[in-house]
Structure 1
Amino acid sequence: MSLHAAIPAVDDRTRSREPLVFGGLTESEGWALAPITPRDRVHFRTDRELPLARFRAGLPAGVTVTYDEGEGLYRVDGARGTAESLAGVIRDWCADAGYGTVGLRPETDVRRRAPRDLPPAFLDELCRHYCRVSLKRLQRNMSTIRLHLPDNDDVDQQVAEWVLKAVSTYDETKSVPFGAYLATQLSKWVHDLGRNAYGRTAADTENKQQKAIAAFTAEHQRRPSEKELAAFMGQSVATLRRNSQTVATLNGLRNLQSLDGGADGAEFVVPDNGEVPDEIMGEAEQTLLSHALTAACAPDPTARRDQRAAQANVLGWTTWYLTTWGGRTKTQLSTELNTSVRNMNVHADRAEQVLKQRLVELGG
C-alpha cells in the first residue's frame, strides 16, 4: 500500500466556515444594502457646546451632524464637492450665534457608511455578536482600558461605540472580513484612549518606555538601570529623564483622587492668620487653590455619561497647573502634548468657569 493511500483524504469543504447570518442576511448581503460611499466632511470644535437641534436646523438640507463627546469634536457630512461651502455656512452660523470655532477643517472624499442605513435587525444582531467578540479580544488590554473606564457599564458602552465606528468605516470592497478589520482597529482605539485623555506625545512616550522595559526585562531577567534603558531605546540619558518626567506627570494625573470625587469630602485645616507667618499662609492658600482647580476639572456627577462634563478635564488641569506652578508656557505644553494652543485654551476655559465658582465658595 502506498504512503498516499494510507493518508485519508481531507475534504476542503470542511475548512470553509459558514457565513455569519444577522437578521436573516449574511454579512456580505447586509453590507451590499448600505455600501460605503464618499462624502465631504467638516471637522471642528467650539468654545462651548452647541445646541444641536438649532445648529442642524441652520444647515442645508441633506447634511448630517455628529458630535463626539469624548473628543469634543463636531463632524458635519455633506455631498461631494460641498466641503468649502459647508465650512463657510458653519463659520457664519457659529459667528452669528456667538460661538467660537476651533480647528475648523474641511475634508473631501471621506468614505463612510451611516449605520442607520443598514437593516435594523441586521445591525442589531451584528453589533450584539461583535460586542461579545470584542470584549473577549480586549481582555489582554483591560488593564489599560480600566485606567480610563473603571465601570463595567462604561466599558460595554465604549466597546459598542467602537463596533458602530467600525461599521461606519468598514470598506466591504477591500475583501477583508469585517471581524478582521474590527480586530485591527480595536488595538488602535485602545491606545487612542490615552492619547485623547492625556495628549498624544505623553501617551506614546509611556507606551514606548513600557515596551522597552518589558523587552529588557525579558532578555536580562531584571529591570534596566537608567543608563541601560536609555541605551536600549537609543536615547540620551537627558532625553530619557525628560520623557520619564512626562510619564510621571501622566501617572500623577491618573492618580488624582479628586478627579473621581474622592477628595471633595476631605477637610482641610487652614491655620489662623494671626498665629502663623505669612509664608505658611501663602502655602496654605496655594494648596486650597490647587485643590479648587483639581475639583473644577473633576467629572460632574450630575452630567449624563454621553456629555463632556461627565469626563475629567485633564487637558484643562494640565494647562492651568503647569503654566501656573510648573513654569511652562502654553507654547511649550502645546509641543510636548502635541495639541494646539487653541485646543488647550478651550479646555482651560472650561476649567476656569468652574474654578471661579469654587473660589467664590472658598472666599465665602
Structure 2
Amino acid sequence: MSDRIPTSPAVSADRSAAARGRGPLVFGGIPEAEGWTLAPITPRDRVHFRVDRELPLDEFRRELPDGVTVTYDQGDGLYRVDGACGSGPVLADWVRAWCAGRGIGTVGLRAEAGVRRRAPRDLPPAYLDALCRHYLPVSLKRLQRNMSTLRLHLPDPDDLTQQVSEWILKAVGQYDETKGVPFGAFLATQLSKWVHDLGRNAHGRTAADTENKQQKAIAAFLAEHQRKPSEKELAAYMGQSVATLRRNSQTVATLNGLRNLQSLDGGPEGAEIMLPDTHEAPDEIMGEAEQTLLSHALTAACAPDPAARADQRAGQPNVLGWATWYLTTWGGRTKTQLSADLGTSVRNMNVHADRVERSLKQRLVELAD
C-alpha cells in the first residue's frame, strides 16, 4: 500500500519546475501555480449571440439581472452573457426579449451549460500584469513558425502584439489549473489553434479548412512517396472524387489569389515582385508567378489615380471594378450573379469594369515588355 500523500496542482507544478532545473516562476510576488488558486476556474451558464446593429452596452449591463455579466468580443462581434449554472435558458429568453423591446435583432442566440471560465480581472493585478509581460515574448517566439500566416492578417507589428496579448488573456480565462498541465504548455497549444482561426474568420471557415486539409494531404503524400501527388492520386488519398477535389481546389486557388492581392490604397507600384529564373523554375512555379503578376496588375489598375482629386471618381479605389474582374475571371461567377449579390446593376458594373480594362491593358503591355 502506498503511503504517498496527494499533492495539490500548485505543489505538483512547483516540483515539475524544480525537476527541470529551475525554480517556479513568480509573478507579482506570487508563485505562478499559487496564483491560479486565488481565482480558480468555475462553471457557469453562458448565452452567446450577435446582433444586427450595435448594442447599447452600458444600458444593457445596467439592466442585467444581479450576478450576471456580459463581455463583448469586438473582433468576432460576439456577445457572451454569463450567469449561474442552470440559468442559461432563462437568460436566453431575457436577452431575446430585451433586444426585441428595442428593435434589435439577435443572430445565433444560444445557451451553453457548464462553461468553465475565470475572469482575468479576478486575479491579483500585479500577478496578472507580470504573467502577461512574461508570456508575451515567449508567445511571439513560439509563433515564429506561423509568422507568414500572421503577417497576412496582421501586417502591423503593433497589431500583432496586441492580438497576441489578447490571446494570452483569453488563455488565462480558459486555463484549468486542476488538470495538471502547465499554463505555458496550454498556451502554446491554444496559440496554434487561434492562428488557424484567423484564416477561418477572414476567408470563411469552409475555405480555410479545405485549404488546411489539402495541404496536410499533400505533405503526407510527399513524405510517403518523395514527390507531389497527381490530381487523381490526391483525390484517392483524400477519399474524394476528382470532381470534388477540383471544386475544392478552385476554392483554395481563390483564397490564395485573394492573399496575393495588395491593398487597393497601399501603393502597389512601390512593391517589388521577385520572379524565378525561367530556365530553372518548373512550369507550375511559373504559373503561380504569372498568377501573382496578374493579381498585382489588376490591383494596381483599380488603385486611386494619384493625379485626381479625392472627390473625383478616379480618386477613389475602384472596388466594384476589381470585384467584377476578379470574380468573373477567377471566381467562376457571372455578372448577373454578381449583380444580385452586390445589389447593383450590370450596367453599373460594366462602367467600373471598363475603367479597369483601360488601365489594365496598359499595365499588361508593360509586363509583357
Q: In the aligned structure 1, how far is the partner of 2:265 from the partner of 2:169?
A: 28
Q: Secondary structure at the match of 1:227?
A: helix
Q: CA RMSD in A?
A: 3.3
User: Which of 150, 158, 165 is equivalent to 1:153?
Assistant: 158
Q: Give matches, 1:187-336, under 5 Å.
A: 187-258=192-263, 265-267=303-305, 290-291=320-321, 325=335, 327=337
User: Which of 97, 112, 133 is equivalent to 1:128?
Assistant: 133
User: Which of 78, 85, 94 is equivalent to 1:80?
Assistant: 85
Alpha-carbon spacing, 1:252–1:125, altered in 2? closer, same or farther (3 Å): same
Is the 8 Å Cα contact of residues 40 and 83 (structure 1) preserved in structure 2? yes
| Correspondence for 2:73 | 68
Deviations along 1:134-175, whole A, 9 cap, x unmatched? 111110011111121111111111111111011001011111
Is the 8 Å Cα contact of residues 195 and 203 (structure 1) preserved in structure 2? yes
Higher relative contact order (CA 8 A, sep 6+): 1
Q: In the aligned structure 2, how far is the partner of 1:57 from the partner of 1:231?
A: 58
Deviations along 1:46-91, whole A, 9 cap, x unmatched? 1122121122122113221111112111101112222122112211
Q: Secondary structure at the match of 1:116?
A: helix
Alpha-carbon spacing, 1:211–1:325, altered in 2? closer, same or farther (3 Å): farther
Please say which of residues 132-141 and 210-219 is displaced more in the overlay: 210-219
What's the offset of the Cα at 1:204?
A: 0.9
Q: In the aligned structure 1, how far is the partner of 2:62 from the partner of 2:322?
A: 39
What's the offset of the Cα at 1:207?
A: 0.8
Structure 1, unaligned runs of 5 or more: 1-11, 269-286, 295-316, 331-347
Deviations along 1:84-137, whole A, 9 cap, x unmatched? 221122111111111100010011111100000000010001011111111111
Q: May I ask how many residue pairs the two structures share in their alignment?
A: 283
AA paired with 1:183? A
Q: In the aligned structure 2, how far is the partner of 1:13 from the partner of 1:194?
A: 39
Please report the TM-score for the alignment, with normalisation by the length of structure 2.
0.68
What's the offset of the Cα at 1:253?
A: 3.2
Alpha-carbon spacing, 1:188–1:215, altered in 2? closer, same or farther (3 Å): same
Q: Secondary structure at the match of 1:143?
A: helix
Alpha-carbon spacing, 1:110–1:121, altered in 2? closer, same or farther (3 Å): same
Q: Secondary structure at the match of 1:97?
A: coil
Please say which of residues 101-110 and 78-87 is displaced more in the overlay: 78-87
Q: In the aligned structure 1, how far is the partner of 2:55 from the partner of 2:79?
A: 9
What's the offset of the Cα at 1:259?
A: 6.4
| Correspondence for 1:30 | 35
Is the 8 Å Cα contact of residues 162 and 186 (structure 1) preserved in structure 2? yes
Q: Give matches, 1:39-50, under 5 Å.
A: 39-50=44-55
What's the offset of the Cα at 1:235?
A: 2.1
Alpha-carbon spacing, 1:69–1:224, altered in 2? closer, same or farther (3 Å): same
Is the 8 Å Cα contact of residues 67 and 73 (structure 1) preserved in structure 2? yes
Deviations along 1:169-206, whole A, 9 cap, x unmatched? 10111111111111111111111111122222211110
Q: In the aligned structure 1, how far is the partner of 2:129 from the partner of 2:206?
A: 37
Q: In the aligned structure 2, how far is the partner of 1:322 from the partner of 1:105?
A: 36
| Correspondence for 2:101 | 96
AA paired with 2:183? F
Q: Secondary structure at the match of 2:47?
A: strand
| Correspondence for 1:299 | none
What's the offset of the Cα at 1:228?
A: 2.7
AA paired with 1:223? K
Please report the TM-score for the alignment, with normalisation by the length of structure 1.
0.69
Is the 8 Å Cα contact of residues 58 and 93 (structure 1) preserved in structure 2? no
Structure 2, unaligned runs of 5 or more: 1-16, 268-298, 307-316, 353-369
What's the offset of the Cα at 1:214?
A: 2.8
Q: In the aligned structure 1, how far is the partner of 2:231 from the partner of 2:55?
A: 48
Q: In the aligned structure 2, how far is the partner of 1:75 from the partner of 1:135?
A: 28
Q: In the aligned structure 1, how far is the partner of 2:112 from the partner of 2:137?
A: 34
AA paired with 2:213? K
Identical aligned residues as a percent: 72
Alpha-carbon spacing, 1:49–1:28, altered in 2? closer, same or farther (3 Å): same
